[in-house]
């Protein structure tokens, strides 16, 4: 029985897209890591709570297939601020978040990094 559960999770991992713009924050990548941890021995992994395992799988399938998005369709694809889904994706991209972090740095810190003889990575060593 563990073998069929393992195969179902593997199939779900294959179908789940990996979003390249969200490095180290992508749900698909986290799902793959968790499945690898949970099924360390592959098909021979003993499952302590099969009901919880099945429930987790069904929940992930509902997320993957947009079950609730389809069940409760929205009238508009914007938020109350008027931001579209594509705008949100662009804002949450890793590159944009790094740029925003750089903008948050104070003037003194930016000047110190610019004129410092050592690189910031060397300071932490």
Write out the chain in H/E/C secondary structure.
Answer: CHHHHHHHHHHHHHHCCCCCCCCCCCHHHHHHHHHHHHCCCHHHCCCCCHHHHHHHHHHHHHHHCCHHHHHCCCCCCECCCCCEHHHHHHHCCHHHHHHHHHHHCCHHHHHHHHHCCCCHHHHCC
pLDDT of residue 117: 61
- Give, for all 125 residues of the chain, the pLDDT tens digit: 678 888 999 999 999 887 777 777 778 888 998 998 888 888 888 888 889 999 999 999 999 999 998 999 888 776 777 777 777 777 777 666 676 676 667 777 767 777 776 555 555 54
pLDDT of residue 57: 93
pLDDT of residue 20: 73
pLDDT of residue 47: 85
pTM score above 0.75: no
Domain ranges of the chain: 1-73, 76-118
């Amino acid at each position: 029985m563990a073998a069929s559960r393992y195969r179902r999770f593997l199939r779900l991992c294959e179908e789940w897209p990996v979003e390249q713009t969200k490095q180290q924050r992508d749900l698909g990548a986290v799902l793959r890591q968790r499945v690898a941890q949970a099924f360390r021995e592959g098909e021979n992994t003993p499952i302590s709570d099969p009901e919880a395992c099945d429930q987790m799988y069904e929940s992930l399938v509902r997320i993957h297939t947009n079950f609730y998005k389809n069940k409760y369709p929205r009238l508009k694809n914007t938020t109350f601020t008027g931001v579209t889904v594509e705008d949100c994706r662009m804002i949450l991209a890793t590159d944009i978040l790094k740029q925003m972090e750089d903008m948050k740095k104070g003037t003194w810190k930016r000047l110190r990094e610019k004129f410092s003889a050592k690189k910031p990575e060397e300071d932490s060593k």
